[in-house]
Amino acid sequence: MDPLSSLLSGIRAEGSVVSHAVLTAPWTIRFADGAPLTMVTVLRGGGTLLLPDGTERVIAAGDTAIVRGPAPFLLADEPGAVHRPHAEYEINCFTPEAPCSGRELGGIHWGADQGGATALVVGAYRASGHRHERLLRALPPVLVVTEDAEVCAWLESSAADAARFSSGSQALMDRLLDWALVCTLRTWFDQAGADAPSWYRGLADPVLAPALHAFHGRPADTWTVASLAAQAGVSRALFARRFTELMGPPPLAYLTECRMDDAEALLADTDLSLAQIAKTVGYADAFGFSAAFKRHKGVSPSAFRAAAA
């Protein structure tokens, strides 16, 4: 499994589809569900994202924005709408008293297109465990990708079809938004260039990619710089130099960082023993793993697990 797939494995649009909404200005939507990630695709019209730190980001037709949670934020037809009478809506999917469905969002219902209205498809994403946290650290508070008109038309049509039929509509919309999240993130990482995380840049490099795929596919193996270089088909010296130039840390430091991040998720999300976790992340025994974890994270595995609990 490649790093992006691994990190996305812990985050899903499970029951969190909120709507295809048609809004007539002035309006605001408050996103208050504390989701790790929220995705907004503008099909027609547009608005301004208002983040807690004061950031304002205009999004227009064809734009898909991904906002990193969990702090609440607003989407308004324009920033001034919050200071004058307007229609107010709220998204709060993850509490029993405010369930969301594919048909309705806090009073916003499916409707016919209206001249000058803004049409959105919105999805909030749940997290299962802690594996996704490394992905969140690689993202800015908000990122925006402009989609092709054909993609937006297809997404709108698919959302409408999902809402039209009750049987399987939620599952269909969940998978649709999972697909859209992966595509949007890949596009943003491709466009980010040097600002993309090192593990993503490495996957695009013809020398490093085979070694990275091998390590992330079999992290429990006893990897060395020589064995990674063999996967890449180059000399040990060339591999180490290219790895450090592109990725930042030396190869073994990168491997340790990834293993410790995986160990954090296993400690927090499973009941595996320290010995089992040690073998899973590539250590021969619990003693060696515990020493490495404390050196890297500053606390022992047992203390980390207790704090996470």
Q: Which of 18-22, 68-72, 245-249 has the lowest mean pLDDT?
A: 18-22
> To the nearest whole number, what is the mean pLDDT of the chain?
82
| Tens digits of residue pLDDT in 18-50 | 455 677 788 888 888 888 889 888 888 889 999
- pLDDT of 105 reads 43
- Residue 294 structure tokens: 């404390």
pLDDT at 16 over 60: no
106-149 pLDDT per residue, tens: 444 444 445 557 878 888 887 766 777 778 888 899 999 987 76
What pLDDT is recorded for position 194? 78
Q: Is 204 left (phi over 0), alpha (psi -120 to 50) or beta?
A: alpha
Q: Which are the contacts of 62, defined by CB distance < 8 A and separation ≥ 6?
A: 42, 146, 147, 148, 149, 152
Listed residue (240, 136, 114, 118) closest to 181, CA to CA: 136
Q: Above 60 in pLDDT, residue 300?
A: yes
Q: Are 107 and 20 spatial neighbours (Cβ–Cβ below 8 Å)?
A: no
Least confident segment among 166-170, 200-204, 205-209? 166-170
